[in-house]
Chains A and B, each alone.
Chain A
Amino acid sequence: MQCLVLFHLFAIFIWTWPQPSANLNREPVTMADRAQRARDQLLAANNRLRYESPLRYYLQVTGFWQYWDMFAPNPANTDSWLTAEIEYADGEVVKAEYPRIQHMPIPEKYVNERYRKFTERLHPIDQSYKWAQFAYRMAYLHPRADKAVPVRVRLYKHFRIYAVAFKNEPKVQDEQFFELVVDPNTYRTWGSK
């Protein structure tokens, strides 16, 4: 039992280590560079141990995996929210907002925070496989009174990037990141899923 407990502690501890910096192979010039390189090599070795050994299965299969990188290495500097444009065959375009925490009263904020969390894991390009589902859901949540089937759904990200501390509030930027051509059958059967 003692060995198992110590193994568990070892496993969860090394799983929580940070990632090496991106410039791992840079030639060191100063002493600080050398220290950084030594640290990065240690972290790279740790990556091999945690991701390429059977240890990975012990942690990932069981749900013992864990990360503690809250507000790290730097806090996010981008405030962002999502909207959709739902276009119909007759040319009408309906704008729909994905639940936005800033616009909610406090009790609602408390129980709806997961919507905000999900936006963090939706927008990066490697998450693009989620976008069609997101677009269908947005269209499903905002039907037209005549029950017409939309032809397209466009997804937008709106964001403010706070690049430098203590500067004035930056302008909002808008970016269309996906356009869905709606399959009428998929749309019509969405509610019965």
Chain B
Amino acid sequence: MSAKKVSDLKKLQHWMFGYGTPETIAIVRILFGTLIFINLLMLMNVFEAFFTEKGFVPVAFAERWADGVPRLTVLAGVTDSRITLAVFIITMLGCVGTALGLFTRVSSAIMWLGLTSIHHRTPDLLHSGDTLMRAFALYIMVAPSGAVYSLDWLRKFKRTGDATVPEVSLWPHRLMAIQVAIVYFTTVWHKWGGSTWRDGTATWYTSQLHEFDRFPVPAFVDQQPFVAILTYGTLIVEIMLATTVFYKPLRKISLLLGIGLHLGIEYRFNIPLFAFLMIASYASFYEGFEWRAWVNKWKAKRQAKGQGQESHEPAIST
């Protein structure tokens, strides 16, 4: 193997398993803790319909769906809806703890286990946003996600006066970014096997499904050539979010196009939280030191505005 290839492999290994600042992981923790909480709050609205024995989905259906493979769930065989409700509430508390960074490791473990249990209890309700939540809940749990921007971090500062943020292993951060890239890469691969994505008419079909309707759009959006532009544009943006997003000069444009795509879907179609979850996951494409620079810049601006006011927040240093 040539020296250049060895050097490239080492760079890749350093990128994947090296050390760095934990801000990205903390921001993902805050965003996903909050969104998973909101998602569970929305599920509470259909609790009786889908999580009780008198609803549409008794627990026996989950066992049938499992197809003989044991599933990680604390709700296996639970027919008492009070226990199921308790699991919902404990999981939501785990989400609050995760978002705030309070007892972060325990809170995030509760969030992950509770969410996985709820998903395995009623898999018939799941959409891609749920799958992303479950994947990110795992990564947040295994990451040092409470190392900064958390109550744990503030408690440590108050106790010791030490505002140092340790460098952490970055592999959970990289797992998050690669996970998002896998989402987009495989969705394009799946779509490329479909005739309507190839002939440029796919978005017309989605626009006809009135059960998905949210806000109206002008008629030209559902006519050619706009339908073809949207269809091929979707594929291009999604493939960019799997590839060029890792190339710094094209990262910003890739993410902006992704945000545009998802906000468009959010406006038009009733797919709750999906856009916000995908956009939140984009935080993982930025390095911790970039987030830190933005936060410091924002703090400096705020301090300049409120001159004379004493700050009680710890200044971050490594």
* New A-B pairs, 8, CB < 8 Å, besides A66-B131, A113-B271, A129-B61: A18-B193, A61-B72, A66-B135, A69-B187, A72-B197, A79-B211, A118-B57, A137-B55
| Nearest CB on A from B41, distance (A) | 9
* In-complex Cβ contact of A137 among B54, B69, B271 (8 A): B54
Encoded as 1 (CB less than 8 Å from any B CB) or 0, chain A from 7 to 41 comes to: 01100110011100100000000000000000000
Contact B205 A63 (CB under 8 A): no
A101 interface residue, CB < 8 Å from B? yes
B56 / chain A contacts, CB cutoff of 8 Å: 118, 122, 130, 133-134, 137
Please report the C-alpha to C-alpha distance between residue A13 and residue B182 in the assembled complex, in whole angstroms. 7
Please report the C-alpha to C-alpha distance between residue A176 and residue B27 in the assembled complex, in whole angstroms. 50
Binds A, one of B118-126, B148-156, B243-251: B118-126
The B30-61 residues at the A interface (CB cut-off 8 A) are 42-43, 45-46, 49-50, 52-58, 61
A115 / chain B contacts, CB cutoff of 8 Å: 46, 49
Please report the C-alpha to C-alpha distance between residue A70 and residue B18 in the assembled complex, in whole angstroms. 34
| Nearest CB on B from A42, distance (A) | 12
Q: Contact residue range for chain B?
A: 35 or more
B192 / chain A contacts, CB cutoff of 8 Å: 73
Between-chain CB contacts (< 8 Å), 13 pairs: A1-B17, A2-B17, A18-B190, A66-B135, A72-B197, A73-B191, A74-B202, A110-B272, A111-B42, A111-B45, A111-B272, A114-B125, A137-B49
B204 interface residue, CB < 8 Å from A? yes
* In-complex Cβ contact of B186 among A1, A2, A16, A117 (8 A): A16
Closest to B199 in A: A165
Closest to A39 in B: B193
| Nearest CB on A from B166, distance (A) | 17
Measured CB to CB, the residues of B under 8 A from A are 13, 16-17, 42-43, 45-46, 49-50, 52-58, 61, 64, 66, 69-72, 79, 116, 119-120, 124-128, 131, 134-135, 138, 171, 175, 178-179, 182-184, 186-187, 189-197, 201-206, 208-215, 223-224, 227, 270-272
* In-complex Cβ contact of A62 among B45, B49, B72, B215 (8 A): B72
* In-complex Cβ contact of A77 among B17, B45, B49, B205 (8 A): B205
Encoded as 1 (CB less than 8 Å from any B CB) or 0, chain A from 32 to 74 comes to: 0000000000000000000000001100111110111111111
B178 / chain A contacts, CB cutoff of 8 Å: 9
B50 / chain A contacts, CB cutoff of 8 Å: 114, 118
Known: A110-B272, A117-B124. A102 touches B211 (CB 8 A): yes
A190 interface residue, CB < 8 Å from B? yes
Known: A16-B186, A60-B71, A61-B69. A112 touches B45 (CB 8 A): yes
Contact B270 A101 (CB under 8 A): yes
| Nearest CB on B from A148, distance (A) | 19
Known: A74-B194, A115-B49, A140-B54. A109 touches B135 (CB 8 A): no
Please report the C-alpha to C-alpha distance between residue A37 and residue B126 in the assembled complex, in whole angstroms. 32
Closest to B189 in A: A18
Encoded as 1 (CB less than 8 Å from any B CB) or 0, chain A from 77 to 106 comes to: 111110000000000000000001110001
B182 / chain A contacts, CB cutoff of 8 Å: 12-13, 16, 68
By CB atoms of chain B within 10 A, which of A75, A80, A160 has the most? Answer: A75
Q: Contact residue range for chain A?
A: 35 or more
Please report the C-alpha to C-alpha distance between residue A136 and residue B97 in the assembled complex, in whole angstroms. 39
Encoded as 1 (CB less than 8 Å from any B CB) or 0, chain A from 149 to 193 comes to: 000000000001010011001000000000000000000001101
Contact B205 A76 (CB under 8 A): yes
| Nearest CB on A from B141, distance (A) | 12
Contact A71 B202 (CB under 8 A): yes
Closest to B69 in A: A60
Give me the 6 closest cross-chain CB pairs, A-B, nearest first.
A73-B194, A72-B190, A74-B194, A63-B116, A193-B54, A165-B201
Contact A191 B54 (CB under 8 A): yes
B138 / chain A contacts, CB cutoff of 8 Å: 63-64
Please report the C-alpha to C-alpha distance between residue A65 and residue B212 in the assembled complex, in whole angstroms. 26
Please report the C-alpha to C-alpha distance between residue A75 and residue B191 in the assembled complex, in whole angstroms. 9
A67 / chain B contacts, CB cutoff of 8 Å: 128, 131
